Amino acid sequence: MASTPQSNTSNTGVSWDGRAPLAEFIEQAKAAEAGGASTLWVACHLFLRDPVTAAHAALAATSRIRVALMAMSPYTVHPVYISMAAAALDELFPGRVLLCLGVGVPGDLAAAGIEALKPLTTLREAIRVCRALFSGEAIAHQGEVFKVAGRRLPNPTDRVPIVLAASGPQMLELAGAEADGVLISAATSPAFIRWCLDNVDRGAARRMASGRCRRMALVYTRIADDERVALDGIRRAMGFILRGPHHAKNVELAGTKLDQAALWNACRDENWPEAERLVSDAVLRSHAAAGTPAQVRERYGDYRALGLDEVIVSGIGDRDGMTRALAAVC
């Protein structure tokens, strides 16, 4: 298992979705470090900005904050290349790189004509391929999905933790059994996170990797002087996320009413007034941290009380908003 770097200043991370220009992102990375964030999670979304390039830029512009590749998909990038990229970044910036693996966003994969078959097997093998290559030994992996043999990396590392992005019960158990950490998706209610961690614990009972699986979760966040402004400012984004059928368990456990089918249709048709109408204040209060600085600080306390090792500020795309959020929650 990789030696997981300890949090340098806090148990709060920040995420970047790949939409902002890289010049702006670099300034956000500097602000995240100055604001006390421990980790910068750089999203890997197809058709947006390349996460490896962005991660290198962020690492070069800062001196302390860790940077996570989130979540590299073995359906779009072979695990051999994923391990090469992570090891190369770690070679330049020792101990500051995390590797997060995941299936990928269903809509992105579909747009690229990629079918995500056998996700559990694929991610299990991707973890094992990356871990074997990080070890520096000649790999001998003959799996159902990947067959990699007879080669090794010239720059092995034991400093890159392998995190698994997961939301389904089997993937969560896989994280507990084999990954160095688990990343729980954004827009999740505390009740759903509790359910996720229970599944991680079930996997940990048959853990194959040494050490403990760290627990991280993305929390969509919006801060304003008035709660109404914060709620309205995050409503559309939350509707877009929660429309997906993979959030059905999340919505169920939160106990809020949300017509996901109608929400899906509204987002598909870009009928944003209707999508926003379907997302009630109760849904937002259950699935996000939106409000005044005091309200958001209290909400983050609720998430941390679940036993999360890191809560990740998500959904904020500008430097000033990020700085204000970190001031409230770090």
The CATH code belonging to domain 12-224+292-329 is 3.20.20.30
Structure tokens at 87: 């090891």
Q: What is the pLDDT of residue 107?
A: 85
Q: What is the pLDDT of residue 296?
A: 97
CA distance 259 to 243: 8
Sketch the domain layout of the chain as residue ranges: 12-224+292-329, 228-290
**What sign does the dihedral 302-304-306-312 (CA atoms) show?**
positive
Residue ranges in the chain modelled with pLDDT below 70:
1-9
Q: What is the pLDDT of residue 7?
A: 40
Q: What is the pLDDT of residue 9?
A: 46
Q: What is the pLDDT of residue 321?
A: 93
Contact 179, 162 (CB under 8 A): yes
Residues 6+ apart with CB under 8 A from 212: 204
Name the residue with tokens 């209610």. 189
Report the greatest alpha carbon distance in the chain: 60
Burial of 43 (0-12, 13-18, 19+ CB in 10 A): buried
Burial of 143 (0-12, 13-18, 19+ CB in 10 A): middle
Contact 162, 131 (CB under 8 A): yes
**Torsions phi, psi of 67, nearest 5?**
-130, 130
Q: What is the pLDDT of residue 44?
A: 95
CA distance 100 to 109: 17
Q: What is the pLDDT of residue 43?
A: 96
